[in-house]
C-alpha cells in the first residue's frame, strides 16, 4: 500500500511494509505479547480450515489473559470495569482482583451446578450490567462457547439462535432499560424457548430491582441464590481451561438475518493476538488508562472493545448503560468522559449526529473538563464529513474514522494513532491495517484503477481474529464470503482507493445505485446533504424508476431549533446535490422526516425503507429500535406520492 503521506511522523508505512514482507513473522512477533500455556510453533497453517488457521498448535486461555494475568502482575487493585448507569442512577467500580473472584465464582456455578463443560454453548441474553461481562469471561474461563444475543431481541429471532447454537444454559435477566423504558426480558425469553426446537437444560436469571420476574420451576435458577450457594466451594480457584488457539471462543450472529442466522465464529488465539495488538498500535492506549467504547455487548464492538481488547491490554473499561441523549441530556457523553478520565472514546457516528441535533452549538460540552481526553474514534457506519468536522471543532481533538465488520472483529482500515497519526481525509477511514491486503475489483474480479469505484475485497488469508468460518456451516461460509471473488473475502462494501492509498467506503454494494447506466454512490449524496446547515442526519436510497431503473430519494432529519418551511429546505437539498454531483445523479426528491428508522446499534434501516418505497413486501426488522418510526416514514413517503 503506497501511502504518499508523511512517513517522517508515522511508522505506519514501515510497519505495513514489514507485514507485507513477512506476514508470519509479523504475527509471530505480535503473539509474544500474550500469555500462552503452550506457545505456538506454527504461526499459520494454510491447509487447515476454510482458508487456513492461525496459531494452530498454540494453547491459551482468553479469560486468563483478560483477568488473571494482570492480578499476577501485581495490578489486582486497578479498576478493570467502571459501570456507569444513568438510567438506574448507579455506579460501580470492579478491580481486576474482584473481577477474578467474580469470574471464578460464576465459572464454578456454570460447571458444578449446571454441568457446563468445554465446548458447550451458553447463550447470554443480558442488559448492560457487569454480570454480563462476568458471564462472558466465565464461559471463556471454562472453555464454553458464549453467544451473546442483544437483550430485548424479539422471541422469534432469539429462538432461531437457540436452535442454531443449541445452548446447554441461557443466562439472562428479569429486565433491561432502554432510556426511560423498562423492557421485561423474561416473557421474551419464555416465548423464545417455547418457539425453539432445542430446549436449554437451565436458565440462570439475574433479578433486577426495576422489575422482578417469576421463575419457571425446574428450569430457571435465581442468580443470587446460585451465587450464595456457590460461595462454599467457589473459594477454591477454578483454573482456566487450556484451549487450542483454534477452539471457538464465541458465536456472534449477524444482525438482521432472515431464516437460518449466520453465526460468526471467533477463535481464542487469533482474537487474543490481534485485539491486544490493536489497543496500542491503532488506539494508542497504554495499560492502566481508562478506555470507553460506547456500544452494547450484543454487538461486535461490545465484544471486542468493551470487554476483550481493553482487558487483554490491562486497561480500565467503561460499561455505560445509557444513551447519548436523554439520559439525562446531550451532555451525557461529556460527563462520563470527564468523570472517569477517559483517554479515548469509541462510538458510532449516529451517536454524535444525535448529540449534534440536540445541542448543535455544543453548549453542554462547556460544562465538563475533558483535559485527560485525547482521541475520538468513530465506526459502525459511514462517518459523514460534517459530523467529523463538528466533533473535531467542538473537542479540539483528533476525530478518527475507521472501518471494520462483525466478521473481522477489528479494524480493516483505520488511522493508526499508536503508530503516528496519518493526515485525515474527510470521508475516508484512512488506510488498510497490517493483515489486510485490501483491493478494489469489478464484477469480474479484476482490479480497477485508483479512484475508480468497485467492490472492496481482502486477499486471503484474512488476518488473526477474523472469522475462520460460520458456526457449523463451512459451505455457507464459502458461499457467503469467498465464492463471488475467488481468492478474496467479500466485504459486501463498495468504494475506492485514491492515489495516496486512502480507502473510501461509499456504502454496501447494494447501496450503489444504477441511474440510467451510471453507477452512483448513495453515500456520496448523503455526504453532500449532511453539509447543509439545517440537516442533522440523512439517508439516501435508490427507488425503482421505470425510465432510469433507479433514482435517488433523500430522507432528511433537521437540527433542533430549525423552523423554516420543510419544503424550502427540501428544494435547497435537491439543488445542493445537483450543484455538487451534477444532473447525472437525477436527485429530485428530498423528504423531511422527524427521525430515521434505526437498529438498536444506530444503523439506519435503509433496506426496509427501500422496500417500502418500491412497494415490495417487508417485515418488521428484529433489530429495530422503535417500530413507530416506520409508520412516520410511510406517511411522509405517501405525502410525496412514493411507495407504500
Q: Cβ distance 60 to 34 under 8 Å?
A: yes
**What pLDDT does 255 receive?**
55
Alpha helix segments (H runs only) across 463-532: 474-477, 522-530
Q: 53-62, 412-421, 575-584: which range is least confident on average?
A: 575-584
Kindly state whether residue 171 falls inside one of the protein's structural domains.
Answer: no
Distance between CA atoms of residues 538 and 558, nearest Å: 9
Q: Cβ distance 387 to 352 under 8 Å?
A: yes
What average pLDDT is seen over the chain?
92
| 171-181 pLDDT, tens digit each | 999 999 988 88
CATH number at residue 592: 3.30.300.30
Kindly state whether residue 84 falls inside one of the protein's structural domains.
Answer: no
Q: Which CA distances in Å does 275 have to 77, 266, 309, 517?
A: 23, 12, 5, 43
What dihedral angle (degrees, nearest 10) is formed by the CA atoms of 627, 628, 634, 637?
-110
Kindly state whether residue 459 falls inside one of the protein's structural domains.
Answer: no
b/e string for 564-573 if b means 16 or more Cβ within 10 A? Answer: eebeebbebb
Closest CA to 497 of 455, 530, 435: 455
| 453-464 pLDDT, tens digit each | 899 999 999 999
**What pLDDT does 259 receive?**
55
Is residue 372 very low, low, confident or very high in pLDDT (cuts 50, 70, 90)? very high
CA angle 305, 280, 334 (to 5 degrees): 55
Reply yes or no on whether the pLDDT at 119 is more than 60: yes
Q: 412-426, 429-443, 455-469, 627-641: which range is least confident on average?
A: 627-641
Closest CA to 127 of 197, 175, 55: 175
Kindly state whether residue 47 falls inside one of the protein's structural domains.
Answer: no
**What pLDDT does 256 receive?**
43
Phi, psi (deg, nearest 5) at residue 205: -115, 125
Q: How many CB atoms lie within 10 A of CB 627?
A: 10
What dihedral angle (degrees, nearest 10) is formed by the CA atoms of 64, 67, 71, 74?
110
Mean pLDDT of 494-506: 94
284 Cβ neighbours under 8 A, 6+ residues apart: 344, 374, 375, 417, 418
| 527-564 pLDDT, tens digit each | 889 989 999 999 998 888 877 778 899 999 999 999 99
**What pLDDT does 616 receive?**
87
Distance between CA atoms of residues 523 and 621, nearest Å: 22
Mean pLDDT of 236-261: 81
Considering its fold, how many domains does the chain have in total? 1
Range(s) of the domain holding residue 629: 516-639
428 Cβ neighbours under 8 A, 6+ residues apart: 401, 498, 502, 503, 504
Q: What is the DSSP letter of 418?
A: G
Kindly state whether residue 56 falls inside one of the protein's structural domains.
Answer: no
Mean pLDDT of 198-215: 97
* Cα separation of the two ends of the chain: 46
Is residue 353 very low, low, confident or very high in pLDDT (cuts 50, 70, 90)? confident
* Residue 547: burial class (beta carbons within 10 Å; 0-12, 13-18, 19+): exposed
Amino acid at each position: 500500500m503506497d501511502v504518499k503521506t508523511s512517513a517522517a511522523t508515522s511508522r505506519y508505512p514501515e510497519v505495513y511494509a514489514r507485514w507485507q514482507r513477512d506476514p508470519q513473522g509479523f504475527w509471530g512477533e505480535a503473539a509474544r505479547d500474550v500469555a500462552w500455556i503452550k506457545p505456538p510453533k506454527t504461526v499459520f497453517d494454510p491447509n487447515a480450515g476454510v482458508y487456513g488457521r492461525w496459531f494452530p498448535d498454540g494453547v491459551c486461555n482468553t479469560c486468563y489473559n483478560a483477568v488473571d494475568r494482570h492480578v499476577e502482575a501485581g495490578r489486582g487493585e486497578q479498576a478493570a470495569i467502571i459501570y456507569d448507569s444513568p438510567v438506574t442512577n448507579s455506579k460501580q467500580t470492579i478491580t481486576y482482583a474482584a473481577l477474578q473472584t467474580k469470574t471464578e465464582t460464576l465459572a464454578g456455578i456454570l460447571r458444578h451446578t449446571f454441568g457446563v463443560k468445554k465446548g458447550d454453548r451458553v447463550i447470554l441474553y443480558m442488559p448492560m450490567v457487569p454480570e454480563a461481562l462476568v458471564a462472558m469471561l466465565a464461559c471463556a474461563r471454562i472453555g464454553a462457547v458464549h453467544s451473546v444475543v442483544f437483550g430485548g431481541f424479539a422471541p422469534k429471532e432469539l429462538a432461531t439462535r437457540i436452535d442454531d447454537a443449541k445452548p446447554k444454559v441461557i443466562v439472562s435477566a428479569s429486565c433491561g432499560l432502554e432510556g426511560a423504558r423498562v423492557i421485561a426480558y423474561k416473557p421474551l425469553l419464555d416465548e423464545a424457548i417455547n418457539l425453539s426446537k432445542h430446549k436449554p437444560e437451565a436458565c440462570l436469571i439475574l433479578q433486577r430491582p426495576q422489575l422482578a420476574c417469576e421463575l419457571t420451576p425446574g428450569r430457571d435458577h435465581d442468580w443470587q441464590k446460585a451465587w450464595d450457594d456457590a460461595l462454599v466451594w467457589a473459594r477454591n480457584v477454578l483454573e482456566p481451561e487450556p484451549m487450542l488457539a483454534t477452539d471457538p471462543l464465541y458465536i456472534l450472529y449477524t444482525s438482521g438475518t432472515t431464516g437460518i442466522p449466520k453465526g460468526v465464529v471467533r477463535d481464542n488465539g487469533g482474537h487474543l493476538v490481534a485485539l491486544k495488538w490493536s489497543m496500542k498500535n491503532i488506539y494508542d492506549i497504554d495499560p492502566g488508562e481508562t478506555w470507553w467504547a460506547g456500544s452494547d455487548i450484543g454487538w461486535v464492538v461490545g465484544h471486542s472493545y468493551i470487554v476483550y481488547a481493553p482487558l487483554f491490554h490491562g486497561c480500565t473499561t467503561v460499561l455505560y448503560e445509557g444513551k447519548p441523549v436523554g439520559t439525562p441530556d446531550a451532555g451525557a457523553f461529556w460527563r462520563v468522559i470527564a468523570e472517569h478520565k477517559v483517554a479515548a472514546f469509541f462510538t458510532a457516528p449516529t451517536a454524535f449526529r444525535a448529540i449534534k441535533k440536540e445541542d448543535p452549538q455544543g453548549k453542554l460540552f462547556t460544562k465538563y473538563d475533558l483535559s485527560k481526553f485525547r482521541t475520538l474514534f468513530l465506526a459502525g457506519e459511514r462517518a459523514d464529513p460534517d459530523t467529523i468536522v463538528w466533533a473535531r471543532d467542538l473537542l479540539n481533538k483528533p476525530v478518527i474514522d475507521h472501518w471494520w465488520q462483525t466478521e473481522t472483529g477489528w479494524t480493516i482500515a483505520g488511522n493508526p494513532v499508536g503508530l503516528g497519526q496519518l493526515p485525515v481525509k474527510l470521508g475516508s477511514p484512512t488506510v488498510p491495517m497490517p493483515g489486510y491486503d485490501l483491493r478494489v475489483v469489478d464484477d469480474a474480479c479484476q482490479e480497477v484503477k485508483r479512484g475508480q469505484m468497485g467492490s472492496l475485497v481482502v486477499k486471503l488469508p484474512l488476518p488473526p481474529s477474523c472469522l475462520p468460518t460460520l458456526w457449523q456451516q463451512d459451505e455457507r461460509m464459502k458461499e457467503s464470503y469467498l465464492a463471488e471473488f475467488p481468492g478474496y473475502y467479500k466485504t459486501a462494501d463498495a468504494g475506492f482507493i485514491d492515489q495516496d492509498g486512502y480507502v473510501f467506503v461509499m456504502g454496501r454494494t447494494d447501496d450503489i445505485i444504477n441511474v440510467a447506466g451510471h453507477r452512483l454512490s448513495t453515500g456520496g449524496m448523503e455526504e453532500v446533504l449532511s453539509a447543509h446547515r439545517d440537516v442533522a442526519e440523512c439517508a439516501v436510497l435508490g427507488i425503482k424508476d421505470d425510465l432510469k431503473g433507479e433514482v435517488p430519494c433523500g430522507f432528511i432529519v433537521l437540527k433542533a431549533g430549525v423552523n423554516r418551511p420543510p419544503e424550502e429546505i427540501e428544494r435547497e437539498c435537491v439543488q445542493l446535490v445537483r450543484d455538487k454531483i451534477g444532473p447525472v445523479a437525477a436527485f429530485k426528491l428530498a423528504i423531511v422526516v422527524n427521525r430515521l428508522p434505526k437498529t438498536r446499534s444506530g444503523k439506519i434501516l435503509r433496506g426496509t425503507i427501500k422496500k417500502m418505497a418500491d412497494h415490495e413486501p417487508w417485515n418488521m426488522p428484529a433489530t429495530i429500535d422503535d417500530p413507530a418510526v416506520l409508520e412516520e416514514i410511510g406517511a411522509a413517503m405517501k405525502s410525496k406520492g412514493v411507495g407504500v
